[in-house]
């Protein structure tokens, strides 16, 4: 644990396209929390899209190359050994590229060829470790450290922690998970629960932690996505949650969009608020709502936060 604590103090930060577009609130709050905790983020230079969920459907190896380029820049041009990606999609794709480059000769060959033509060093598996924002905060500050730094407890806020698909599935690309006590679980993840509990929140019993929001078809098959999102939102509300905490920009905007779409198209009104976990941690650390981008969310949670004494 201690070597990670030192290793993750300064990491290469890979925000990805969504955090520059629809998820500026996640970017803002991640940076603000890092600053408040005294952790160092160095942006990956000239990064590119990881391929998201779309490019692999055209060709999976192009996606592997795209993700490898980001890791190559961090390792070979910035001399970093950790890449931190808060977006589940980026995190997933970098992990998948790492796995493929370690285990598949064909992927290594394609990535080598493309990197050479593109004019940069080829990424070799093992050069960097890719971590999620959850790992980053948990392994540096930890639950105890976070608890000590809380200025504004999330006490009384009932939270359903929603992790989504890409943080845990498929299992084989996350060799560090499911390794017994202290490691993350792919069937019942708990890192976000642990951090928010340390910040004073009440985590409700929420069975759909890793259910799918239909993010892949949010525009191309919107009715399907609305149904899937409604399952998640209704389960959270049934469990008594005020807030669904998110850790993925696709899940987050999917929940926000389809909460509205459900009301417009199916007349189903739901009340639960959608907030990034980094926003919640920032508030607990005493940051003002604006500093963590509460105003940039579509889901308007300001009233609830005021009611709970957090804004």
Partner 1 sequence: MPIHEKSLIREENITVQEELVIDGVDVSGHWSTFIEPRVVTDYNEELEEEIAALPGGEYIHRCWQCGSCTNSCTVNAIDPEFNPRFWIYLIRTGMEEELLRDKERIWQCVSCNQCTYACPRDVFPEGVMKATAHWLELKGHTPKSPSMVFDEVFTEQVIATGKIEEGRTLRRFLGRTAQPLMQDWIVEMGKKLLTNLPLKMLTKMGIGSVLAPRTRGWSKAGAAIQEYQDEQQAKHRKALNLDELVAMAEQELTSQEQ
Q: Residues interacting with partner 1, by CB under 8 A?
A: 17-18, 20-22, 24, 46-49, 51-62, 65-66, 69, 110, 113-114, 117-120, 165-166, 168-171, 186, 211-212, 214-217, 219-221, 224-225, 227-228, 256-257, 260-261, 264-265, 295-298, 300, 302
Minimum CB distance to partner 1 smaller for 61 or for 138: 61
Report the nearest approach of partner 1 to the CB of residue 304 (Å): 14
Report the nearest approach of partner 1 to the CB of residue 15 (Å): 11
* Long-range interactions of 68-71: CB distance < 8 A, separation 24+: 68/97, 68/101, 68/111, 68/115, 68/122, 68/123, 69/115, 69/118, 69/120, 69/123, 70/14, 70/44, 70/94, 71/97, 71/98, 71/123, 71/127, 71/128, 71/130
Q: Which of 245, 246, 250, 269 is nearest to 259 (CA)?
A: 269
Q: Which of 237, 238, 256 is nearest to 246 (CA)?
A: 256
Strands (E), 87-173: 129-132, 158-161
Dist CA 300 CA 130 (whole Å) = 32
Minimum CB distance to partner 1 smaller for 77 or for 307: 77
Angle at alpha carbon of residue 145, lines to 141 and 13, rounded to 5°: 20
Three-class SS of residue 246? strand
35 CB burial (10 A radius; 0-12, 13-18, 19+):
middle
Minimum CB distance to partner 1 smaller for 151 or for 271: 271
Minimum CB distance to partner 1 smaller for 46 or for 148: 46
Report the nearest approach of partner 1 to the CB of residue 135 (Å): 20
Minimum CB distance to partner 1 smaller for 61 or for 291: 61
Minimum CB distance to partner 1 smaller for 150 or for 298: 298
Report the nearest approach of partner 1 to the CB of residue 245 (Å): 19
Report the nearest approach of partner 1 to the CB of residue 151 (Å): 24
Minimum CB distance to partner 1 smaller for 50 or for 198: 50
Report the nearest approach of partner 1 to the CB of residue 54 (Å): 4
CB atoms within 10 A of CB 199: 25
Report the nearest approach of partner 1 to the CB of residue 204 (Å): 22
């Amino acid at each position: 644990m201690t070597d990670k604590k030192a290793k993750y103090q300064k990491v290469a930060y890979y925000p990805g396209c969504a955090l520059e577009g629809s998820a500026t609130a996640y970017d803002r709050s991640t940076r603000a929390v890092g600053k408040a905790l005294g952790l160092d983020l160095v942006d990956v230079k000239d990064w590119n899209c990881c391929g998201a969920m779309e490019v692999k459907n055209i060709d999976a190896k192009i996606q592997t190359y795209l993700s490898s380029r980001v890791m190559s820049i961090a390792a070979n041009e910035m001399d970093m050994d950790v890449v931190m990606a808060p977006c589940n999609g980026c995190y997933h794709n970098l992990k998948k590229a790492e796995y493929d480059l370690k285990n598949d000769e064909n992927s290594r060959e394609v990535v080598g060829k493309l990197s050479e033509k593109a004019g940069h060093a080829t990424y070799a598996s093992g050069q960097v470790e890719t971590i999620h924002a959850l790992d980053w905060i948990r392994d540096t500050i930890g639950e105890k450290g976070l608890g000590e730094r809380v200025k504004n407890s999330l006490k009384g806020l009932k939270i359903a922690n929603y992790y989504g698909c890409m943080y845990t599935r498929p299992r084989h690309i996350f060799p560090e998970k499911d390794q017994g006590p202290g490691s993350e679980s792919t069937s019942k993840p708990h890192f976000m629960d642990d951090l928010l509990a340390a910040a004073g929140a009440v985590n409700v019993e929420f069975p759909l932690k890793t259910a799918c929001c239909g993010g892949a078809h949010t525009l191309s098959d919107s009715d399907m996505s609305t149904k899937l999102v409604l399952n998640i939102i209704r389960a959270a509300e049934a469990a008594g949650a005020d807030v669904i905490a998110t850790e993925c920009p696709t899940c987050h905007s999917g929940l926000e969009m389809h909460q509205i779409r459900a009301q417009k198209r199916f007349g189903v009104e739901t009340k639960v608020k959608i907030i990034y976990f980094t926003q919640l941690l920032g508030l607990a650390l005493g940051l003002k709502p604006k500093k963590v981008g509460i105003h940039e969310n579509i889901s308007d949670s300001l009233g609830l936060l005021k009611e709970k004494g957090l804004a």
